[in-house]
Amino acid sequence: MTDHNSRQPTAGHRLILLLSLTCGVAVGNVYFPQAISPLVATGLGVSPGAAASVVTATQFGYAAGIFLLVPLGDRLAPRRLIVTLLTLTGVGLLAASSVRTLLPLAAASVLVGVTTVIAPLAGPLAAGLVPAQRRGVVGGTLLSGSIAGMLLSRTFGGALGDWLGWRAPYALSAALSLTVAALLSRALPATAPPATHRYPALLAEPLRLLRTEPELRRSSLYQAAVFAGFSAVWTGVALLLTGPVYGLSARSAGLLALVNAATMLCTPVAGRIVDRRGPDAVNLVCFAVVGVSAPVLAFGGLGGAGGMAALVVGTLLLDVGMQSGMVANQVRIYGLGAGVRSRLTTAYMTCAYLGGTAGSWLGARAYARFGWSGVCTVVAALTAVALARHLAAGRVHRQDQVRSKRGPLPVTSGRVTGCRPSTDDCSS
């Protein structure tokens, strides 16, 4: 996606809201199967473990889609690519709603996961449709849509499934995907793709960018570390709530996640601050917020009303810090180049999801060995790693500023101090 310029229309508020809605619908397609997995098991007459493979298939497809399809955002016209993927998602969801056995449902779920990678494509698209000084608030608005889709799809998917059966959420999601595809086919501007690379070169490009772009590596490390802590907490909190300390049902973790819907209101605010103060300032505050969440969450291990209040406050702080940091990181990487934003997003999102996967593993292992306090220690340690890297980057930046303010080196006897005559221009 090319940058906003005088020949390209600026995205209006309605188009940004439509893209935010689209992100919510697409992300919801990944998460609503988690809420209806028990209903699938009953409806198809399979074990709960077998029905859970549908969730795994969708998430596997989503990860594959990020790697295989998101780089095409730099190669194909964005409107055609996004509308086509949404249409294929709708077809996959319709197929899933009509199957009679588990294997076709799993196959349709892979298709849905692969093609519903709209949110990673919408971010670079929107960044190219607005001036640089609006990218933060626009990124925050799109992220709010994604958060809404993640949270609300679980809640309403489960309620609709209880009322009308497990097929109803698939049918409704198909209708939403196809409707949004029709709206975007008329609303999105016709923009030319910036790259002409062959597909194999596009797939290799994210690795090259990670190797050559320090700011991409820095942003990816930040998000991978904080998202790992986030995943560790949400893996451990389900074990804590259903264990002897609280003795609640598995549904309680979903209700706790719903409390964090307030994060939807925070990310646009974080985006406006990024636009005014820059990504680094917001990252620093986000690390502080996530760091504070660790000791607050630790009090959740005490149980009772006080412990539950600590879990609510701690998870809210963690979620706000993680999501606001994502806005800052995305603005930073989008500034690296207009023609490679989708490939930058591929590298960034892949690192983030690898961090989340590692965090889930660490959270489960820490809880098994050290209990809830071990999970909170994991969050604190991961945040410390990211903060140390951020402070090191700040020192390097300040040193560069000092050197730039010193001006040219002093001249002695007609020669610049430090100049190498064999390679430099040393004339007086």
Q: What is the mean pLDDT of residues 175-200?
A: 87
Going by the DSSP 8-state scheme, the letter that residue 11 receives in this structure is P
CA angle 49/52/56 to nearest 5° reads 130
Helix runs in 130-213, H state only: 135-164, 167-187, 199-212
Domain ranges of the chain: 7-193, 197-402
pLDDT greater than 70 at residue 417: no
7-193 and 197-402, same CATH topology: yes
Q: How confident is the model at residue 400 (pLDDT cuts 50, 70, 90)?
A: low
Residue 401: the pLDDT is 57
CATH of domain 7-193: 1.20.1250.20
Looking at the predicted structure, is the pLDDT value of residue 211 above 60? yes
Going by CATH, does the domain composed of 197-402 fall within 1.20.1250.20?
yes
pLDDT at position 408: 44
Give the model's pLDDT for residue 404. Answer: 53
Tell me the percentage of the chain whose pLDDT exceeds 70.
88
Query: What pLDDT sits at residue 17?
Result: 92
Quote the radius of gyration of the chain (alpha carbons, Å).
24
What is the rounded distance in angstroms from the CA atom of residue 298 to the CA atom of residue 307?
A: 9
Percent of the chain with pLDDT over 90: 44
pLDDT above 70: residue 251: no
pLDDT beyond 70 at 201: yes
In angstroms, the CA 47 to CA 38 distance is 9
pLDDT in tens, 90-139: 999 999 999 999 999 999 999 999 999 999 999 888 887 888 888 888 88
**Cβ neighbours of 427 (radius 10 Å):** 9
- Reply yes or no on whether the pLDDT at 25 is more than 90: yes
User: For the chain, what is the mean pLDDT?
Assistant: 84
- Neighbouring CB atoms inside 10 A of 136's CB total 29
